[in-house]
């Protein structure tokens, strides 16, 4: 037997195997990256001007003077972890006068739900409305379902909260993340100014603490999925834009109109709450970033 021939054959097999792996990775990612690059590079002139609106060009004080009726404000709270839901509602209690309605979305069993209601602060019961939802796309799916609720139809400003726990993060980082987010959202410098600003803006607008607004590196491999969602919404794709990390934020009624549109398509078909939909590049991550295509954030 010729050992040189054997060595050559083995080397060729190894090379062929590496080539297959390389081509697989190339064919998986390159078309996605090329689509994104050419879209951002050559279609920038077709971008929506919605994020380029000069907020200073609108006289918000004049608008509020014309319409002195205080805008109605709703909290949309998705409760996946009941104990965290009670914790958040207790944090809401001291400033509950700033909110007219609290829509609690959940998928609790009857026994768990009864216990949850028993632990809920009595002062908030009259403002709470409960809605059973399918637990898909983490807290984004419940938001899409809540957006179509008639209970919210007369509200102009919304605060999205959810019982974030992130048990996969070490050293209680998920808990610290949630607590900092909720505290920041419930205690802006002037909550009434924030509410009035969001209500007065004619276009989509969202807000969250500046420290929880993303940078481009936090987009990961999610651009392609976001691009698909923008096509479904009928809006231009802006490329990676700031989004609220943690998926808790204030927003106005123009944004809820777009969220409502997502419930009408096939996006809600065939997806379940499982680990395969939590990976980078999944629909879950795209839904958390899609509002960035509607507006730049307002910093309260």
Q: Any idea where the domains of the chain sit in the sequence? A: 58-293
3-state SS string over 221-246? Answer: CCHHHHHHHHHHHCCCCCCCCCCECC
DSSP 50: G
Q: What is the pLDDT of residue 30?
A: 47
The architecture (CATH level 2) of 58-293 comes to Alpha-Beta Complex (3.90)
User: How much is the pLDDT for 179?
Assistant: 87
186 confidence band (pLDDT: 50, 70, 90): very high
pTM of the full predicted structure?
0.76
55, 298 Cβ separation under 8 angstroms? yes
Q: Which residue reads 């910093």 in tokens?
A: 299
How far separated are the first and last CA of the chain, in Å rounded? 78
Percentage of residues in the chain having pLDDT higher than 90:
51
pLDDT tier at 20, thresholds 50, 70, 90: very low
pLDDT single digits (tens) 57-116: 334 444 444 556 889 999 999 999 999 999 999 999 999 999 999 999 999 999 999 999
DSSP code string of 79-112: ESSHHHHHHHHHHHGGGGGG-SEEEEEE---HHH
User: What pLDDT, on a 0 to 100 scale, did the predictor assign at position 60?
Assistant: 43
């Amino acid at each position: 037997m010729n050992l040189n021939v054997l060595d050559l054959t083995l080397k060729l097999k190894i090379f062929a195997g590496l080539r297959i792996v390389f081509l697989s990775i190339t064919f998986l990612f390159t078309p996605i990256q090329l689509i994104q690059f050419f879209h951002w590079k050559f279609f920038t002139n077709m971008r929506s001007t919605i994020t380029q609106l000069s907020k200073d060009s609108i006289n918000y004080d004049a608008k509020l003077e014309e319409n002195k009726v205080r805008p109605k404000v709703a909290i949309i709270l998705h409760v996946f972890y009941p104990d965290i839901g009670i914790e958040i509602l207790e944090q809401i209690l001291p400033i509950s006068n700033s909110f007219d309605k609290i829509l609690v979305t959940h998928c609790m069993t009857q026994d768990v739900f009864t216990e949850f209601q028993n632990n809920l602060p009595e002062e908030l019961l009259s403002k709470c409305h409960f809605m059973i939802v399918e637990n898909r796309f983490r807290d984004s799916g419940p938001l899409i379902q809540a957006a179509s609720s008639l209970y919210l139809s007369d509200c102009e400003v919304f605060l999205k909260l959810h019982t974030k726990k992130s048990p996969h993060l070490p050293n209680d980082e998920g808990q610290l993340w949630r607590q900092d987010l909720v505290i920041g959202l419930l205690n802006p410098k002037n909550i009434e100014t924030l509410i009035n600003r969001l209500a007065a803006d004619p276009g989509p607008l969202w807000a969250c603490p500046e420290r929880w607004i993303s940078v481009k590196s936090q987009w990961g491999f999610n651009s392609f999925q976001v691009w698909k969602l923008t096509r479904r919404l009928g809006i231009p794709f802006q490329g990676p834009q700031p989004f609220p990390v943690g998926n808790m934020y204030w927003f106005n009624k123009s944004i809820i109109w777009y969220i409502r549109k997502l419930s009408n398509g096939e996006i809600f078909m065939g997806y379940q709450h499982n680990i395969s939909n939590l990976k980078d590049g999944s629909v879950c991550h795209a839904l958390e970033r899609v509002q960035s295509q509607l507006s730049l954030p307002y910093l309260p």
